[in-house]
Amino acid sequence: MKEPTDRSCEICHPGHDRSKAKGLSLKYRELLLPVVVGLLIVLGATGLVREVFGLYIFLLAALVGGVPIVFEAVKGLLRKNMNVGVLISVALIASILIGEYFAGALVVFIMHIGELLENITVAKTGNAIRKLMDLKPKTARVRRADGEVVVPIEEVKLGDRVLVKSGERIPVDGVVASGQAAVNQASLTGESIPVEVSVGNEVFEGTLNELGVLEIATTKIGRETTLAHIIKLVEEAQADKAPAQRVADRFAKYFTPIILVIALAVYFATDDVVKAITVLIVACPCALVLATPTAVIAAVGNAARRGILIKGGRSLEAAGRVNAVVVDKTGTLTYGNPQVTDIRSFSEKTQADVLIRAAIAEKFSEHPLAKAIINKAHGLEVPDPSDFQVILGRGVVAYASEQKLILGNRKLLADHQIVLPQQAEEYLLAKEANGETCLLLAEDDRFLGVISVADVLRKGTSQAIATLREAGVKKIVMLTGDNPRTAAAIASLAGIDDFAADQLPEDKVNTVKRLKQQYKVAVIGDGINDAPALATADVGIAMGVIGSDAAIEAADIALLGDNLVQAAQAILLSRKALRVIKANIYAFSLGLNIVGMYLAIYGMVGPVEAALLHNLAAFVVVLNSARLIRYKSHAALTPQQTAI
Ligand code: ADP
Ligand code: MG
């Protein structure tokens, strides 16, 4: 489906299939050739050898180093691949023919050294995958009928009980069957505060059991685990071409014939072979070909180490252009884990009566608000409703012992023509101004009371918002199905001044569409509830997706952890990557190329300087991209430190 990632310049070094060249052959090509050619050049320059062999030692150097280059170029030509290796080869052969052996040898030497440096740096950028692979334990301690045995990881089967002690990495994905532990999931989520797990919790391959003993029922092994999934996604992402890359590719295709024509023109105009050769060498667009993929690989790898999965060059480039961010309120800005803060009866019923009826209505609801009520009713007897219906963005309607229970927001009660007493209105306004969400309860069209619920802003939320703004995001909008007053209170706590309240899921989609007419929009949401809005955005960023492969697949950027700061980091990193790519293409590739051609045509540089310049450009591009491996946005500094 995807071409193998070749991270070197296919144009100047055609036919190098780096994915196959492993071990000795790679070392031979990359190390031996420049060493041998370099030694020959040094030898040729020393007195005695020079007296005996004259310039022929340089010819030998040019041949030893040049034959592989010419060979690859011809191979490329046979595949009807008009590559720039041809340019170098033509230049090399021409310089030998006119007796410029020394220049030929030097050019060859510089080409090989350049390739070596390039490969070493590129290998470093590709490191992220190896680091992820290293997280895979090789063995597992399994409970069998005859006791505990340590077996190679390949022998673990689904359902096996795996034991993990303090200090060991968890070797499978599974569910805790017994025991409890503090598990550090930093390797996957980037969050270094350990997570407490106990019976029934999910655990993941490659995470570290810091303290405790776990017996895990294996649910996923081998290629199915979250870690394996992540590795595959990072591999695919690194092979994915950014749109900027496609432009460079198309350009490179026409490059070779154009340069050949220019060089010929220079030759006929000036009758100077050396000048024409110089043009050939300096024009080789290695730097251009390397400009984008090296940056994408470095940035995607950097992000992966922090639990941020950027799904390839396309997503990276899109995220780099984002200037508006839409965040969902519940579960994104807040923990999505609301607690009941107050129960108020506006009838003869007691608080407990109100709570029990609300709990009956919510008994089968999955909504976070429902969970808050069910938790609060813990220990009370809550019968099943006989019928139950979710009204999206409004609440629930349920039937219990012949009674109709209505629980939800104002709109839901208005739908049922239920009028609130003045007293209740005042109470609601006060609660909502405080950022609480009020759930109104009615029974058979009679208003009974209110349950107030509050969610807590995530740690680092306002820091993340401030970081986005500093990074140049012009518009930040909070979307919520909640009422305008609660929305306003939460938005102001988070430092967001734009919000849209009372939004049904389809309203959220329309709001995003409207923003897209004016901005490049990123939507940050939870990947399940907010999937439609995420899909509508230019860049969909799903948060807290560890354990949910579907949510990971669907997003453009998936945050394994649920730290909003990571969303800001992802956008900052993408912006930085886009700047690096632009500098690579315009300054270090096209810019240097044009300067080089100019200097060559006006005879200010010879073939050797041309080769140096050419390799310098490629190397600068690779180094510039490599900065992205270690790039840390200031938002990366201990997100845990900042309270709301
Ligand atoms: P958000 O956009 O903040 O995630 P939702 O669209 O899920 O919110 O819900 C919007 C509003 O609808 C809630 O603030 C609440 O008033 C009401 N609501 C939704 N589901 C329920 C429920 N199960 N019980 C009570 N009220 C609900
Ligand atoms: Mg929601």
User: What are the tens digits of pLDDT across the range 189-245?
Assistant: 888 789 999 999 999 999 999 999 999 999 999 999 999 988 888 888 877 766 766
Give dist(CA 521, CA 537) in Å, integer. Answer: 6
CA separation (Å) from 328 to 12, 243, 504, 540? 48, 29, 12, 12
**330 Cα: distance to centroid of ligand 1 (angstroms):** 9
Cα separation, 332 vs 563, whole angstroms:
9
Average pLDDT on 377-402 reads 92
CB atoms within 10 A of CB 54: 12
Tell me the β-bridge partners of 38: none
Q: Is 231 in the pocket of ligand 1 (CB under 6 A)?
A: no
Residue 1 has pLDDT above 80, yes or no: no
Ligand 1 center to residue 393 CA distance, Å?
5
Q: Which of 160, 173, 240, 328 is catalytic?
A: 328
Counting Cα atoms < 13 Å in the Cβ hemisphere of 41 gives 20
When pLDDT is averaged across residues 376-391 and rounded to a whole number, the result is 93
In the chain, pLDDT over 90 holds for what percent of residues? 51
| pLDDT over threshold 70, residue 2 | no
Question: Residue 331: what pLDDT?
Answer: 87
Q: How far is CA 183 from CA 160, 179, 180, in A?
A: 20, 12, 9
Structure confidence at residue 31 as a pLDDT band (50, 70, 90): confident
CA distance 484 to 503: 10
**Alpha helices for 126-225 (secondary structure H):** 127-133, 186-189
- Give the mean pLDDT of the chain: 86
Res 422 pLDDT > 80: yes
- The reported pLDDT for the residue numbered 556 is 94
Q: What is the pLDDT of residue 619?
A: 86
Q: What pLDDT shows up at residue 84?
A: 57
Query: d(Cα 313, Cα 300) in Å, to the nearest integer?
Result: 8
Any atom of ligand 1 within 6 Å of the Cβ of 435:
no
At 636 the pLDDT is 46
Q: Which ligand is closest to the CA of 531, given by its number? A: 2
pLDDT band at 248 (very low <50, low <70, confident <90, very high): low
pLDDT computed for residue 125 by the predictor: 67
Answer whether 370 contacts ligand 1 (Cβ < 6 A).
yes
CA of 497 to the centre of ligand 1 (A): 22
Predicted local confidence at residue 147, as pLDDT: 87
Cβ–ligand 1 contact at 627 (below 6 Å): no
Confirm or reject: Cβ of 365 under 6 Å from ligand 1: yes
Element (H, E) at 514: helix 505-516
Q: Which of 367, 410, 412 to mutate to test the pocket of ligand 1 (most atoms within 8 A of CB)?
A: 367
Q: Is the pLDDT of residue 488 over 90?
A: yes
Residue 328 among the catalytic residues: yes
| Higher per-residue confidence, 526 vs 126 | 526
Ligand positioned closest to the Cα atom of 530: 2
Q: Which ligand is nearest to the CA of 364?
A: 1
3-state secondary structure of 555: coil
Ligand 1 nearest-atom number relative to CA 486: 14
Highest mean pLDDT among 60-69, 354-363, 618-627: 354-363
Q: Is 336 in the pocket of ligand 1 (CB under 6 A)?
A: no
- The mean pLDDT of 494-505, rounded to a whole number, is 92
How many other C-beta atoms are found inside a 10 Å radius of the C-beta of residue 380?
10
Q: Is the pLDDT of residue 10 over 60?
A: no
The pLDDT of residue 5: 40
Model confidence at 424, in pLDDT bands (50, 70, 90)? very high
Residue nearest to atom 16 of ligand 1 (CA): 409
- Distant-in-sequence, close-in-space partners of 131: CB < 8 Å, separation ≥ 6: 305
Q: Say if ligand 1 is within 6 A of residue 481 CB.
A: yes
When pLDDT is averaged across residues 140-165 and rounded to a whole number, the result is 92
- pLDDT in the model for residue 98: 84
CB 625 near ligand 1, within 6 Å: no
Q: Using the atom order of ligand 1, give the atom closest to the CA of residue 502.
A: 10
Tell me the CA–centroid distance for residue 547 and ligand 2, in Å. 19
Alpha helices in 403-456 (DSSP H): 410-415, 422-433
Ligand 1 pocket test target in 332, 333, 375, 394 with most atoms within 8 Å of CB: 394
When pLDDT is cut at 50, 70 and 90, the band that residue 637 belongs to is: very low
CA 337 – ligand 1 centroid, Å: 13
Segment 428-469, tens digit of pLDDT: 999 999 999 999 999 998 999 999 999 999 988 999 999 999
Residue 15: the pLDDT is 44
Q: Residue 535 is encoded by which pair of tokens?
A: 């899909």
**What integer pLDDT is reported at residue 642 of this predicted model?**
37
Ligand 1 atom 27 nearest Cα: 395
Q: What is the pLDDT of residues 521-562, one digit of tens each?
A: 999 998 777 888 999 999 999 998 887 877 888 899 999 988
pLDDT of 19: 39
Nearest Cα to Cα of residue 280 among 111, 410, 154, 407: 111
Q: What is the pLDDT of residue 531?
A: 86
439 lines ligand 1 (CB under 6 A): yes
Return the ligand number nearest the Cα of 499.
Answer: 1
pLDDT band at 126 (very low <50, low <70, confident <90, very high): low
Whether residue 150 has pLDDT greater than 90: yes
- Is residue 412 over pLDDT 90? yes
Rounded distance from Cα 418 to ligand 1 centre (Å): 18
Residue by residue, DSSP assigns 565-582 as HHHHHHHHHHHHHHHHHH
- Choose which residue among 390, 439, 511 to substitute to test ligand 1 binding: the one with the highest number of ligand atoms within 8 A of its C-beta: 439
Q: Give the Cα separation of 50 and 536 in Å (integer).
A: 71
What is the C-alpha to C-alpha distance for residues 212 and 635, in angstroms, rounded to an integer?
Answer: 32
Model confidence band, residue 419 (pLDDT cutoffs 50, 70, 90): very high
309 CA to centre of ligand 1 in angstroms: 30
Name residue 310's beta-bridge partners.
557
Rg for the chain (alpha carbons), in Å? 32
| 487 CA from centroid of ligand 1 (Å) | 12
Output the pLDDT for position 633.
67
Mind listing the pLDDT tens digit for each residue in 309-329? Answer: 999 889 999 999 999 999 999
Ligand nearest to the CA of 437: 1
How many angstroms separate the CA atoms of 527 and 548, rounded? Answer: 9
Cα-flanking dihedrals φ and ψ of residue 240, to 5°? -70, 135
